[in-house]
């Protein structure tokens, strides 16, 4: 065991410093790179581990960390009434007993000298690494899926799995599903037709909402195709690079088009390397991310992140504990299309 005291942060600090910043609104804590669309999720940080929480309870408690987007004024306290659905969370655990590479150059020296730089750099390291896994699982996670080497996709069920369950059940909660998007390279005209078809097939309730309250969540190729279509007809510039830098300038009929960077590579991977695409039109803040900021990893481990250097084996080791789960507040007010993955 290391002769130097381990670096430890509590469950609450872990949530505040590492987990929740990935859900911050772009622009408020802008770091110079695009963080993706996790900021579009409504975060609830007090879901009981064993029994979960009814969705209706989220909107009467004070500890819900709601999105701060000024253009999103949907009154979720009203629309969630009458629902007996719950969000549940899974226990997640990350650990390595043989990490021979440094977190950053000179980290061992900083660790042994108890330098404030070590804490800062470690927090940034886990914030970046965990953020990628949270995004991939929040959308594509499926606990029944075999382990994926390149992406973390099987830790908890994500939004696409939730939609699939509502589609299978049918009834009033089923989203609108339009024709699938063909596999392969998509042309600007084809991309425009996908957006147009989704827009025309909104539910009556979704049509009645202001376009400023909605968003298209799109894979990169679809958004790029739409921007190229606008350029071809001389409608507008639609510079896709701005989208990837956290400044979404692209829209369709006044509805912003938001690109999630992890969608395209994951879809292509699931489609055996062939181009695949996905699009969701729904209300902003409709996706819920549930966690529990008081979860400490069990009675034997009263913290959520522990990092230490083993002098005996001369390796870095860490253990990380957290909980996570997703749900959709109004799945029926969504239009969904994606490439059929075979």
Q: What is the pLDDT of residues 235-255, one digit of tens each?
A: 654 445 444 544 446 889 999
- Between 54 and 219, name the one with better pLDDT: 219
The 10 Å Cβ neighbour count of residue 134 is: 28
Asked whether residue 95 carries a pLDDT value surpassing 80, the answer given is: no
Cα–Cα distance measured from residue 334 to residue 41, given in angstroms and rounded to the nearest whole number: 15
**Residues 225, 192: contact at Cβ < 8 Å?**
yes
Q: What percent of the chain has pLDDT over 70?
A: 76
Cα–Cα distance measured from residue 53 to residue 252, given in angstroms and rounded to the nearest whole number: 35
pLDDT confidence band for 51 (50 / 70 / 90): confident
pLDDT confidence band for 96 (50 / 70 / 90): low
Per residue in 9-49, pLDDT tens?
888 888 888 888 888 754 444 333 346 788 889 888 888 77
- Number of residues that this document lists for the chain: 342
pLDDT confidence band for 63 (50 / 70 / 90): very low
Cα–Cα distance measured from residue 18 to residue 168, given in angstroms and rounded to the nearest whole number: 35
Q: Which helix (H) or strand (E) holds 190?
A: helix 188-200
Q: What is the mean pLDDT of residues 178-196?
A: 96
Choose among 10, 48, 44, 41: nearest CA to 23.
41
Asked whether residue 263 carries a pLDDT value surpassing 90, the answer given is: yes
**Residues 184, 274: contact at Cβ < 8 Å?**
yes
Q: Are strands 315-328 and 305-310 parallel, antiparallel or unpaired?
A: antiparallel
Asked whether residue 100 carries a pLDDT value surpassing 70, the answer given is: no
- Between 71 and 37, name the one with better pLDDT: 37
Asked whether residue 200 carries a pLDDT value surpassing 50, the answer given is: yes
SS3 46: strand
**Residues 45, 293: contact at Cβ < 8 Å?**
yes
SS3 335: strand
Among the listed ranges 79-88, 130-139, 174-183, 194-203, which one has the minimum average pLDDT value? 79-88
Among the listed ranges 48-62, 126-140, 261-275, 326-340, which one has the minimum average pLDDT value? 48-62
């Amino acid at each position: 065991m290391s002769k130097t005291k381990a670096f430890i942060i509590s469950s609450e600090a872990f949530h505040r410093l590492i987990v929740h910043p990935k859900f911050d609104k772009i622009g408020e804590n802008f770091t110079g790179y695009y963080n993706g669309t996790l900021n579009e999720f409504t975060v609830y940080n007090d879901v009981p581990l064993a029994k979960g929480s009814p969705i209706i309870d989220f909107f009467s408690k004070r500890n819900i960390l709601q999105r701060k987007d000024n253009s999103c004024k949907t009154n979720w306290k009203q629309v969630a009434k009458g629902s007996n659905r719950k969000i549940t969370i899974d226990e997640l655990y990350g650990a390595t007993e043989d990490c021979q590479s440094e977190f950053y150059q000179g980290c061992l020296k900083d660790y042994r000298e108890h330098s404030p730089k070590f804490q800062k750099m470690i927090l940034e390291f886990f914030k970046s690494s965990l953020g990628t896994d949270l995004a991939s699982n929040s959308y594509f996670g499926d606990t029944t899926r075999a382990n994926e080497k390149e992406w973390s996709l099987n830790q908890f069920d994500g939004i696409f799995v939730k939609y699939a369950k509502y589609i299978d059940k049918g009834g009033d909660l089923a989203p609108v599903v339009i024709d699938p998007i063909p596999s392969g390279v998509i042309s600007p005209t084809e991309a425009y037709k996908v957006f147009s078809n989704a827009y025309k097939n909104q539910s009556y309730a979704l049509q009645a909402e202001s376009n400023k309250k909605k968003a298209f969540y799109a894979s990169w190729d679809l958004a790029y195709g739409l921007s190229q279509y606008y350029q071809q007809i001389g409608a507008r510039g639609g510079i896709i690079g701005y989208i990837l830098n956290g400044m979404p300038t692209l829209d369709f009929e006044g509805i912003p088009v938001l690109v999630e960077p992890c969608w395209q590579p994951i879809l292509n991977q699931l489609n055996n390397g062939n181009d695949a695409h996905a699009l969701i039109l729904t209300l902003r803040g409709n996706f819920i991310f549930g966690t529990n900021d008081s979860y400490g990893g069990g009675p034997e481990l009263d913290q959520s992140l522990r990092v230490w250097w083993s002098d005996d084996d001369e390796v870095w080791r860490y253990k990380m504990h957290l909980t996570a789960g997703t749900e959709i507040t109004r799945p029926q007010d969504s239009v969904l299309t994606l490439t059929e993955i075979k």
